[in-house]
Chains A and B, each alone.
Chain A
Amino acid sequence: MVDVEEPELADSPYVTLISSDGLQYVVKREAALVSGTLRGMLNVDSSFQEAETNRIKLHEIDSVLLEKVVEYLYYNLKYKNEVDTPEFEIPTEMSLELLVAADFLDV
């Protein structure tokens, strides 16, 4: 959603996640690597197109879900090694769809 200069280089510290309805989320590479699926896509040895362009299209995840996912990626990044963490809030009605997305993204 943030409109910044498009990162293109493979070693850029940011990657762009694109939701099914076309919104772009520029997140830290570190945060994106929390997700096993994204990690695989961004692996430079994998020769995925995503690894070169640093843009990942997530056709099955809409912007509402993706925003929550991104929120979790940063939550995980921040509290990974801490025990005393605040609860991660999820609206109840979103939980099932989010579970599907989380299952896909392996987070």
Chain B
Amino acid sequence: MRSRRNETNEESSVRGPNSALTAFLREQGITAEVIERRNRQREEQEELERAAVTQRVATDANSDIEELVDAATSKRRAADVSDDDGDDGNHDRDPDGKSYCLDCDVEFKITVLSKRAERNGRAGYLCADCTLIQQRKARNARRNEVEARKRRKKVAAALLDKQEYKLPSLQDICVKLISQNIEEVDAFGDIGTVNMRKISKILSKNRSLNGHTMTLFLDAGLKELEFWDCSNMDSDSYTKIAAFCPRIERLTLWMCGQLHNDNLRYIATNLPNLTHLTLNGPFLISDSCWQDFFEIVGSRLKGFHILNTHRFSNDSMVSLLENCGSGLEELTISRMDGLDSKPVYDILPHYLTKLKHLEISYPTKEELVDDALIVNLLSVNGETLETLILDGCSGLTDATLVSGIRPFCPSLRKLSLGLLDQITDDGASQLFTDWDINDGLMEVSLRRCTALTDAGVYPMLEHSRSTLIELNLNSVYGITTQMFQDWSRNLKLGLLTSLDIGFVQSVNDKAVSILGRVCPKLTILEVYGCNNCTQEATVRSGLRLIGRQTDNF
């Protein structure tokens, strides 16, 4: 290496990643420069030849057409490697360079510009007119291909959004245009709440919700406000929310990293009707501020959802439970790394008694959320509980299902057990077999419950067959083709509209057609990573297959 570097001085010692080919070429002394030099030489050579030919043509133009044609054909032949039968160019050619057009059979003189073509196995040349027509056809074909590609792209984009491509409505066109020019807008006027929400969502998606644009959504009579990306909203903007919209009952702020202690206090004091608060990522709020907030809002807080902050500590949690616990109907604690005390988790059942919605997901350590805690929580709240989300609480085992959910949850409608790898067939079948107190679940996620197989999943399908609307079986590897067969023979899921069955290897073409038949309302079937599901699958009309590997657009 060293010696080579001395040899070629201009090579720098800093290099990007190299492929084996590049390394090989460099070793052989082949560089871009060498290649270029070779090309130049070849071009010069050709130039010379061409000059010689034209000279000859100039001297005896009449007699040498034959030669010219030969030169031309040989050159073409050289360029066209695939064309290997030697003399087919001569079929319709007179010795004096006359030929009959392959398309229209008119007699014409071959020039270097004449197009070679093949028709029904006969090779020959086209006359000038037909050459033009051919060229135009080729150009159109190319343009059509480009347009077809664009069309396929639009359809594919819509498919990935889980929608069918349709003509945008006039409202959609306007909303898009307004979002693009949002900085110019002074006030919206009466555009309707649906459109308002649409624009707000688009702005969040474009990350253009800021101190100016957010004010457009504020209105004195507003009862519900959602901002999905507040990262560009400064501290003053949060104050504005509370100052301009005193009647807000439900407030949702995502990515509210700039939400200050003072803002939260102001919200607590100035929004007397606030009952539901959702905050994602409020990491500036200190422990003492949380405690103040909970003391002020007290028992009027009915729903509290908090996600992604490490500053919400064990003490904050205790304060939440003491001040608001008795009134809480909805609670979400997701990805809260500051909550690391087992005793604090364990007192949850002492305060929470009438929950309808409970989400405890992705705790910082898996031992924080154990079976005993969930069973206790369910024993007091089970009667009212409609939504239970326990994604990522991987410390939970079958006991949660058997002694918690089964006996205590008659009104449960949504159950999410994502990433619970200790849940087994045994537990699942015990839960769902003859689970008569519950009339059926509407939404179930068993995503990445890797220990489950047919024996666990099938009883669930059987139990909720007439109610299930949305089902996620992504990465439940144990599902076999047998289950689809049983499903096909014995079950009909009349309401199921959306099914994610990605990364389940047993999903094949047959399974897809079974699903289409036994789930008459199914519109979205996600099959990412199902290699056995191919182009051959019969897909019922109205069913959209998303993520099939062989689909190319």
Interface residues of A (CB under 8 A from B): 69, 72, 76, 79-80, 82-85, 88, 90, 92, 95-100, 102-103, 105, 107
Contact among B170, B185, B190 for A72, CB-based, below 8 A: B170
- Contact, CB under 8 Å: B181 / A100: no
- Contact, CB under 8 Å: A80 / B167: yes
Closest chain-A Cβ to B345's Cβ sits at a distance in Å of: 48
Contacts of A90 in B (CB 8 A): 173-174, 177
In the complex, what distance in Å separates the CA atom of A103 from the CA atom of B199? 13
Contacts of B169 in A (CB 8 A): 102, 107
- Contact, CB under 8 Å: A98 / B189: no
Would you call B122 an interface residue if the criterion is a C-beta within 8 Å of the partner chain's C-beta atoms? no
In the complex, what distance in Å separates the CA atom of A90 from the CA atom of B178? 11
Closest chain-B Cβ to A20's Cβ sits at a distance in Å of: 15
- Contact, CB under 8 Å: B189 / A100: yes
- Contact, CB under 8 Å: B151 / A103: no
Main secondary structure of the interface of A (DSSP, over half): helix
- Contact, CB under 8 Å: A99 / B178: yes
Contacts of A82 in B (CB 8 A): 167
Contact among B155, B174, B185 for A98, CB-based, below 8 A: B174
Among A88, A98, A99, max chain B CB count under 10 A is at: A99
In the complex, what distance in Å separates the CA atom of A85 from the CA atom of B191? 26
Would you call B165 an interface residue if the criterion is a C-beta within 8 Å of the partner chain's C-beta atoms? yes
In addition to A72-B173, A84-B147, 17 A-B residue pairs with Cβ atoms within 8 Å of each other are A69-B170, A72-B170, A76-B167, A83-B154, A83-B165, A84-B150, A90-B173, A90-B177, A96-B185, A96-B189, A98-B170, A99-B174, A99-B175, A100-B190, A100-B192, A107-B169, A107-B171
Would you call B188 an interface residue if the criterion is a C-beta within 8 Å of the partner chain's C-beta atoms? yes
Contact among A92, A96, A102 for B170, CB-based, below 8 A: A102
Q: List 25 A-B contacts (CB under 8 A).
A: A69-B170, A76-B170, A79-B167, A84-B147, A85-B167, A88-B168, A90-B174, A90-B177, A92-B177, A92-B181, A92-B184, A95-B178, A96-B185, A96-B191, A98-B174, A99-B175, A99-B191, A99-B195, A100-B189, A100-B191, A102-B169, A102-B170, A102-B174, A103-B191, A107-B170
Contacts of A76 in B (CB 8 A): 167, 170
- Contact, CB under 8 Å: B181 / A95: yes
In the complex, what distance in Å separates the CA atom of A36 from the CA atom of B147? 32
Could you give, for residues 470-496 of chain B, a 1 whenever the CB lies within 8 Å of some chain A CB and a 0 otherwise? 000000000000000000000000000
In the complex, what distance in Å separates the CA atom of A100 from the CA atom of B185? 14
- Contact, CB under 8 Å: B188 / A96: yes
Closest chain-B Cβ to A47's Cβ sits at a distance in Å of: 27
How many B residues, CB 8 Å from partner?
26
* Chain A residue, CB-CB nearest to B176: A95
Q: Give the tally of cross-chain contacts (CB within 8 A).
A: 62
- Contact, CB under 8 Å: A102 / B177: no
* Chain A residue, CB-CB nearest to B199: A99
Closest chain-A Cβ to B319's Cβ sits at a distance in Å of: 44
* Chain B residue, CB-CB nearest to A88: B173
Contacts of B177 in A (CB 8 A): 90, 92, 95
* Chain B residue, CB-CB nearest to A60: B190
Among B173, B181, B192, max chain A CB count under 10 A is at: B173
In the complex, what distance in Å separates the CA atom of A80 from the CA atom of B168? 9
- B residues 384-441 touching A (CB-CB < 8 Å): none
Contacts of A105 in B (CB 8 A): 170
Closest chain-B Cβ to A22's Cβ sits at a distance in Å of: 23
- Contact, CB under 8 Å: A83 / B178: no
In the complex, what distance in Å separates the CA atom of A85 from the CA atom of B173? 13
Contacts of A79 in B (CB 8 A): 167
Closest chain-A Cβ to B541's Cβ sits at a distance in Å of: 15
Contact among B150, B151, B165, B171 for A102, CB-based, below 8 A: B171
* Chain B residue, CB-CB nearest to A35: B170
* Chain B residue, CB-CB nearest to A75: B167
Contact among B168, B173, B184, B195 for A103, CB-based, below 8 A: B195
In the complex, what distance in Å separates the CA atom of A84 from the CA atom of B147? 8
3 closest A-B pairs by beta carbon, nearest first, are: A99-B174, A102-B170, A103-B192
Closest chain-B Cβ to A70's Cβ sits at a distance in Å of: 11
Closest chain-B Cβ to A10's Cβ sits at a distance in Å of: 27
- Contact, CB under 8 Å: A83 / B174: no
Contacts of B150 in A (CB 8 A): 84
Closest chain-B Cβ to A99's Cβ sits at a distance in Å of: 4
* Chain A residue, CB-CB nearest to B180: A92
Among A97, A100, A107, max chain B CB count under 10 A is at: A100
- Contact, CB under 8 Å: B178 / A96: yes
In the complex, what distance in Å separates the CA atom of A69 from the CA atom of B191? 16
Contacts of A96 in B (CB 8 A): 174, 178, 185, 188-189, 191
Contacts of B170 in A (CB 8 A): 69, 72, 76, 88, 98, 102, 105, 107
Contacts of B189 in A (CB 8 A): 96-97, 100
* Chain B residue, CB-CB nearest to A81: B167
Contacts of A72 in B (CB 8 A): 170, 173
In the complex, what distance in Å separates the CA atom of A83 from the CA atom of B147? 10
Closest chain-A Cβ to B153's Cβ sits at a distance in Å of: 10
